[in-house]
Amino acid sequence: MLQPAENKSQFSPSPSSFNPQKTVNPPIEQATIGRSLVIKGEISGSESLYIDGKVEGTINLADNRVTIGRNGSVTANISAREIVIMGKVHGNIECTDRVDIRSEGSLTGDVVTQRISVEDGAFLKGSVQVKASEHKHDKQNQAKPEPPKAAAAAAGAN
């Protein structure tokens, strides 16, 4: 309902003065290797990496994400928390969380990860080893109480 101008409440802003609050998240720190760049050697660091150029060597970003863009070409072993492949990768991958091979991506090499996703149309040649999450092992060990030693001894005496 429309309210008369004299009866304005401090809780009902007029349409001309309504400014929604924008929630601004800090930008994700991510380094980028551009389309025209060629890097040979070892890459390591503590931020995520987007590769749209060519990389040869090793990539070690243990607690971060590595994304190989559509124009990216990587000939390297990669170790990271999360790996997203939209380009071409030749090399072995060790991932602590998940590997995501998109429909336009290709991977030739062995994969060790906790989770893997391969979209229709993606290319994967190599072995895949999915290891159980460390948290699941902790929960399973806590859920199985050990029998008391006295009860075990009594059971063994029968």
What tokens appear for 50 in the block? Answer: 């987007």
Where do the H-state alpha helices sit in 8-148?
A: 134-143
- Prediction pTM value: 0.69
In contact, 61 and 49? CB cutoff 8 Å: yes
Q: Could you report the per-residue pLDDT of 69-103, keeping only the tens digit for each? A: 999 999 999 999 999 999 999 999 999 999 999 99
Which pLDDT score is estimated for 21? Answer: 60
Does the pLDDT at position 109 exceed 50? yes
Whole-number pLDDT of residue 4: 57
Give the pLDDT of residue 133: 76
Burial 20-44 (b: 16+ CB within 10 A, else e): eeeeeeeeeeeeebeeeeebeeebe
DSSP SS3 for 100:
strand
Average pLDDT of the residues in 103-110: 97
* CA contacts within 13 A on the Cβ side of 11: 0
Please tell me the predicted confidence (pLDDT) of residue 6. 56
pLDDT digits (tens, 9 = 90+) for 18-45: 565 655 555 667 899 999 999 999 999 9
- What are the tokens at 62? 């243990």
Tokens of 92: 């072995």
Structure tokens at 6: 């004299």
Q: Which letter does DSSP use for residue 6 in this model?
A: G
Give the number of other CB atoms < 10 A from CB of residue 150. 8
Q: Which of 35, 32, 41 is closest to 60 using CA atoms?
A: 41
